[in-house]
Structure 1
Amino acid sequence: MNQLSDYHRERVQAVLAASPLVPVIAIKDPDDAIPLCRALVDGGIRVLEITLRTEHGVRAIEKVRKAIPEAWVGAGTVTSIAQYRQVESAGAQFVITPGVTEAILEFGVTSEAPLLPGVSTVSELMMGYALGYREFKFFPAEVAGGIPALKAFSGPFPDVVFCPTGGISRQTARDYLALPNVRAVGGSWLTPAEAIAGKDWPAVSDIARGSLGDL
């Protein structure tokens, strides 16, 4: 059984260290990809998780990677190895999944783009742990137990850290980040639908800047 390399872990650690807040980005209009991501970066966000929740995700990753080279640009909501390969080809610098399968975990061990696997239970965490993973996405965070669950995980797994996502708000982000085993949090409040629909990019920058200032 292959084990996760130091290279992969260092890359994931670098992503989590680059920004305490990770926006969950779903591109509905392909023309929005670059200005939206630029607005987030202008607001101080350095990690961009562009999800595959819409048909424009892969292309958006490719465009944003070229347009905003100073940011970490990765793929979220990756649910199959076929999608993993697609986003790697598009230039994704990291991959985030909502959950795990043995196949995806094993593929991530040797992939070019390092994997932050999504877990919601101790059993899923143990699957990844056996392969050398020590950094995980905790999803859906609020539904799966929130802060009390993360505190409980720290007992048997003191060397594991998380990026919780799902149901976290600007108001609760700070509480999650106060936990010793949380390195970053993900959220969709950083990409409000109303501002995007109105192409109000300064508002997106203001929300990002204000959210970072709250921490």
Structure 2
Amino acid sequence: MLNELLKRPVIPVIVIEDANDAEPLAEALLKGGMDVIEVTCRTAAAPEALARIKKSFPGMLLGAGTVVTPDQAKMCIDTGVSFGLAPGLNPDTVKFFQDHSTLFIPGVMTPSEIEKGLSLGLKMLKFFPAGAAGGVNMLKNLAAPYGPLGVKFCPTGGVNLDNMQEWLSQPVVSAIGGSWLATKQQIADKQWDVITDQVKAALAKAAELAD
């Protein structure tokens, strides 16, 4: 799963308030060319939304974000998510996902947290909150000692269409997480075509760096 995720430079970070929006949202992402999604566990609708996407779009890489409690972790495994993420690094959560052979990407913001992640066998970490924590320059300096060890980062928080290329141009960055791709208001207003267009624009920006 890590190898598959490393092929996808943009991960949409989604907050779903109404589980009925799960399928049309996933369709909007797929229509734009994006087959990966992170549904955060911040709402009561998240478990059902994850289950619905898993059932209707089994080929989609389904991620669960903001996994911060044991109950949330169990729900994710029971649902069969492709990967999980968290804003921080909890060794118990990491081990739980590892015991169930499921990729987990915890959040880090300091050298000590990076080294803790490496000690747990992790090769992909979430840099969060990326903008507030010092931006691209901070990550460049923070990750410099660890790049040779093969660790990759997914900056999330403060990443947008205007600065995503700056993030993705960093060798240690494998992907960026973006909530702008489908905002809560756009989902509530069912602006599926707008979301599809935003996805296409983001993937086009990412493709420019690959050319």
Aligned-partner residue type, residue 101 of structure 2: E
SS at match of 1:186: strand
Question: Hey, what does 1:202 align to over in structure 2?
Answer: 193
Q: Distance in 1 between matches of 2:158 and 2:178?
A: 7
Q: Does 1:64 align with 2:35?
A: no
* TM-score normalised per structure 1: 0.90
How far did residue 103 of structure 1 move?
Answer: 1.6
The answer to whether the Cα contact below 8 Å between 2:16 and 2:187 also exists between their aligned partners in 1 is no
Question: Hey, what does 2:154 align to over in structure 1?
Answer: 163
How far did residue 211 of structure 1 move?
Answer: 1.5
Match of residue 192, structure 1, among 183, 197, 207: 183
Question: Hey, what does 1:12 align to over in structure 2?
Answer: 2
The answer to whether the Cα contact below 8 Å between 1:138 and 1:164 also exists between their aligned partners in 2 is yes
Q: Distance in 1 between matches of 2:60 and 2:151?
A: 25
* TM-score normalised per structure 2: 0.92
Q: Distance in 2 between matches of 1:104 and 1:155?
A: 27
Number of equivalences: 204
SS at match of 1:49: strand
How far did residue 125 of structure 1 move?
Answer: 1.1
State how 1:41-190 maps to structure 2 within 5 Å: 41-158=30-147, 159-190=150-181
RMSD: 1.3
Aligned-partner residue type, residue 187 of structure 2: I
* Percent of pairs with identical residues: 37
Divergent runs of 4+, >2 A: 105-109, 192-195
Mind listing any 5+ residue stretches in structure 2 that lack a counterpart? 207-211
Aligned-partner residue type, residue 14 of structure 1: E
Quick check: 146-155 or 173-182, which moved more? 146-155
Quick check: 104-113 or 33-42, which moved more? 104-113
Q: Does 1:212 align with 2:203?
A: yes
Q: Distance in 2 between matches of 1:113 and 1:195?
A: 31
Mind listing any 5+ residue stretches in structure 1 that lack a counterpart? 1-10
Q: Does 1:38 align with 2:18?
A: no
The answer to whether the Cα contact below 8 Å between 1:61 and 1:91 also exists between their aligned partners in 2 is no
Quick check: 110-119 or 36-45, which moved more? 110-119
SS at match of 2:24: helix
Aligned-partner residue type, residue 173 of structure 2: V
How far did residue 108 of structure 1 move?
Answer: 3.0
The answer to whether the Cα contact below 8 Å between 2:14 and 2:183 also exists between their aligned partners in 1 is no
